Amino acid sequence: MLSTADFFIYTKWMAIATLGAAVVTGLAFLFQWGIRFRLVGITGFMGVLVGGLFALSLAPFSHGYVPGSTRFSLVYDNGGNQLVIAVAPEITEAQLTATLQQASDKFFSYGRLGGASSSMLVRARTIIHPEPGVSQPLFLGELRRQAIVNPDAEIEISLNRENLQILQSSIAKNS
């Protein structure tokens, strides 16, 4: 994945190329070339690309890795402050906590939240099969993240211990 430093290097080279195109465009007007107006469009578009690359060099868009987290998939996202992830049935409590934090970090942005008292809610669930042909969804836990005051300090994780016990007994029964 490209870093912000890579985008800054690309911005620098694209800006140099844009200045070169501007010089060629100036020469086209000076010598009355037939493609001078096309060169104006090309130079303008290159300027837009420089602006976009510069914006990408300012904003970090990579997310950190939370040690101990496992793979998850997004099941539901209302586009605002609630989302549900699915985890593997073999997950442990420590892995569940880390995975909830990882999902919160991956999907958090200030644009998702509306209003001054908004918080983000990430819920984790899995599906077990108590008997052949029967699927039972289990809600395992949730993470609530207060976004406005200090996003890193206001994280509340609550695990559903009953369902975790059901999950462990289901794994033991199926093994």
pLDDT in tens, 67-96: 999 999 999 988 778 899 999 999 999 999
Higher-pLDDT residue of 133, 50: 50
Going 105 to 110 to 115 to 116, the CA torsion angle's sign is positive
Residue 64 counted as domain residue: no
Query: Are 52 and 80 part of one and the same domain?
Result: no
Q: What's the predicted TM-score (pTM) here?
A: 0.66
Query: Are 27 and 109 part of one and the same domain?
Result: no
Residue 63 counted as domain residue: no
Asked if pLDDT for residue 110 goes beyond 70, the answer is no
Structural domain count of the chain: 2
Range of the domain at 9: 4-58
Can you name the residues that pair with 125 across neighbouring β-strands? 86, 139
Query: Are 128 and 83 part of one and the same domain?
Result: yes
Which pLDDT belongs to residue 115?
A: 52
Residue 118 counted as domain residue: yes
Asked if pLDDT for residue 125 goes beyond 90, the answer is yes
